[in-house]
Amino acid sequence: MRGNGRVFLRGRTYWIAYYLRGQEFRESTQTDDPKAAERFLKRRLREVGADILGARTFVTPQASRLTVHDLLEALRADFELRGILSNQNLSHLKKADADFGAVRATELTAEQVDSYIEGRLAGGTAKATINRTTQLLTQAFRLAVKRGHLSRVPSIRHLSEKGNERKGFFSEQEFRSVLAHLPTDLKDFATFAHATGMRRKEITSLTWSDVEGDVLRLRGENTKNGEGRIVPLVGELAEVIKRRNAARQVEVNGTIQMVEHIFHRGGHPVGEFRKSWRSACKKAGVDRIFHDFRRSAVRDMVQAGVPQEVAKKISGHKTDSMFQRYNIVVEDDLRTALEKTELYRKASEQKVASMGQR
């Protein structure tokens, strides 16, 4: 009967079959002794019964063999199939695999994850960075449960990122001052970032095959969220592309070659330039990081009256919450708001007084 399970022969080895929530499980007993096989079946049935009563979760034969690496690989394949395997997702998947991959999926505990989080915090890792790794762990377990490979998702803590809002941004004067001190082969790179709010790695990835007339098409595989987007090449952006086209030819070993990437340094894609950046900022008397261009572009677009949904399509922000973290209000904005409010109230007061004198 279904509730009692059964023992059967495969070749010279006995196997057992039993059911849990309507699903049949089969596994080898690794013995040719029928009595030993019966005892093996009884142990499994007790484990199934404990699960049904809620006393202990039953670990299926398949689940007992799964590692966290297996789960993360399945998640990576799922991301790739859905077209959202961005470079950042891939980077965090590799980190999660390096730190948890060897652990049996059924043996990962909340205490282990908490200990991992505490260790990374002690090492100075940002909460948001830790969350990206543990978030992928949760997603991997949820996918395994959804597909019936596991029965539970372990409790994985999510750290609060409150207070992690970005605060730095460029004024126009600061931007022009830093630009003046940057090396020539980085000026257009910085100008493009300032105008579009595009991420540094996204700009680095751009090639001439991405340019179609007066439109630039950023491919999904080169974006953080895996979604492609377009940027019309107008105004200062059009001038940047014109200059880059003029700088496309480089001489390598006495031979003139056409560079594939729009932004390059001596024919090579733009890599790290922290030393050049720090030097330019120091000479300009400005304390800013390159990512502040992204914040500045978002804020300036909003203050210029660009609708939020349109600005998001240019900057590449997927959610309103992430976008709002960059739309920063500064002291001068607050002062202007209070001054406008005071003027409004005075005008209202004068209007009431004028009506009373009639």
Count CB-CB contacts under 10 A for residue 191: 19
Look up residue 50 and give its two tokens: 């404990």
- Residue keyed to tokens 């007084």: 353
Burial 152-180 (b: 16+ CB within 10 A, else e): ebbebeebeeeeeeeeebbeeebbebbbe
Q: What's residue 176's pLDDT?
A: 93
β-bridge pairing 255-258 and 249-252: antiparallel
Distance CA 317, CA 225 (A): 8
Q: What's residue 239's pLDDT?
A: 94
> What does the DSSP assignment read for 62-74?
HHHH-BHHHHHHH
DSSP 8-state assignment for residue 128: H
Which residue stretches of the chain are H helix?
34-53, 61-65, 68-82, 87-100, 110-122, 127-146, 172-181, 184-196, 200-205, 236-246, 274-284, 292-303, 308-315, 320-324, 331-356
Domains of the chain: 2-58 (no CATH), 66-146 (1.10.150), 172-327 (1.10.443.10)
Can you say how many angstroms the Cα of residue 339 is from the centroid of all Cα atoms in its chain?
40
One-letter identity of residue 243: R
Q: Which residues, listed in sequence order, are joined to residue 17 by a DSSP beta bridge?
A: 6, 26
Low-confidence ranges of the chain (pLDDT < 50): 330
pTM above 0.75, yes or no: no
**What are the CA-CA distances from residue 295 to residues 19, 30, 44, 199, 299 (Å)?**
56, 62, 58, 10, 6
Q: What's residue 348's pLDDT?
A: 75
Q: What's residue 302's pLDDT?
A: 77
> What does the DSSP assignment read for 307-346?
-HHHHHHHHT--SHHHHHTTS---HHHHHHHHHHHHHHHH
